[in-house]
């Protein structure tokens, strides 16, 4: 296979991966839904091979489950699963954020302020752009912890949590939540080098998602 053809296949797989990931995370593909290759080919207007490769990558991300001899399905959701993600995320990000603040310098402060500024300027309705900048902001807050393994786990847990955030957004009262204000307050505490306040605000930011999720009957119990 020549280099051009190989590059084309990789590009098609990456495009399919990004599209399917967004559809799963935002709930366009429902939790537990059977993911049929033929249907996805039509929706994404691409071949079967990129779809299969993309689904295999999403299995590694724990957003898709492989069914023995029966194809794939979007990973199911549950309050128990979210509770585990939340517990681990709070524990690990508390550690990472405190270490980041302990190592704080002007370069880190400039990075988090810029990341927040870029995120705040984007309309959340522009999902691909907003989600990229949203994750960049959260990970920038932790990036000064000097622990690559810890950061890798935080990144993975962030990705697993995203679809629950979209589910929580369906709660009747979710619109009353001031998410931009929460981000701003976390940033202000971090810039002030107040590790206790920054961590308290960050964990509260995450825990509020759980409060709204508990209002939804569509998320199965533990």
Q: Are residues 112 and 166 in the same domain?
A: yes
Q: Are 33 and 74 in contact (CB under 8 A)?
A: yes
| Residue 107 CA: distances (Å) to CA of 14, 96, 104, 135 | 32, 17, 8, 19
Q: Which of 42, 74, 106 is the last residue of a domain?
A: 74
Kindly give, in sequence order, each residue whose CB lies less than 8 Å from that of residue 50, ignoring residues fewer than 6 positions away.
9, 12, 13, 15, 16
Among 37, 21, 17, which residue's Cα sits nearest to residue 29?
Answer: 21
Q: Which domain holds residue 192?
A: 79-213
pLDDT value at residue 222: 46
CA atoms within 13 A on the CB side of 34: 9
* Helical H segments across 62-126, by residue range: 79-102, 106-120
pLDDT value at residue 202: 97
- CATH number, residue 145: 1.20.120.530
Q: Which of 15, 39, 74 is the last residue of a domain?
A: 74
pLDDT tens series, the chain, 222 aa: 444 444 555 688 999 999 999 999 888 999 999 999 999 999 999 999 999 999 999 999 999 999 877 789 999 999 899 999 999 999 999 999 999 999 999 999 999 999 999 999 999 989 889 999 999 999 999 999 999 999 999 999 999 999 998 888 887 777 788 999 999 999 999 999 999 999 999 999 999 988 888 887 667 654
- Indicate the number of domains in the chain: 2
Q: Are residues 69 and 83 in the same domain?
A: no
Q: Are residues 55 and 8 in the same domain?
A: yes
Report if residue 146 sits inside a domain.
Answer: yes
pLDDT value at residue 148: 97
pTM of structure: 0.85
Q: Are residues 121 and 193 in the same domain?
A: yes
């Amino acid at each position: 296979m020549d280099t051009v053809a190989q590059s084309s296949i990789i590009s098609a797989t990456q495009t399919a991966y990004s599209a399917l990931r967004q559809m799963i995370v935002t709930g366009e593909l429902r939790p537990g839904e059977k993911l049929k290759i033929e249907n996805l080919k039509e929706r994404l207007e691409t071949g079967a091979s990129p779809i299969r490769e993309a689904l295999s990558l999403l299995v590694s991300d724990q957003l898709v489950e492989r069914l023995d001899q029966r194809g794939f399905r979007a990973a199911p959701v549950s309050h128990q699963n979210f509770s585990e993600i939340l517990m681990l995320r709070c524990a690990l990000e508390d550690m990472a954020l405190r270490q980041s603040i302990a190592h704080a310098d002007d370069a880190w402060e400039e990075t988090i302020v810029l990341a927040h500024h870029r995120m705040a300027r984007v309309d959340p309705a522009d999902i691909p752009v907003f989600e990229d900048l949203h994750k960049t902001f959260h990970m920038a807050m932790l990036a000064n912890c000097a622990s690559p393994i810890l950061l890798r786990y935080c990144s993975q847990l962030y990705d697993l949590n995203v679809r629950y955030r979209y589910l929580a957004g369906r709660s009747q009262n979710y619109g009353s939540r001031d998410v931009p204000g929460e981000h701003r307050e976390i940033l202000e505490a971090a810039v002030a080098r107040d590790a206790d306040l920054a961590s308290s605000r960050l964990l509260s930011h995450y825990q509020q998602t759980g409060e709204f999720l508990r209002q939804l009957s569509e998320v199965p119990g533990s």
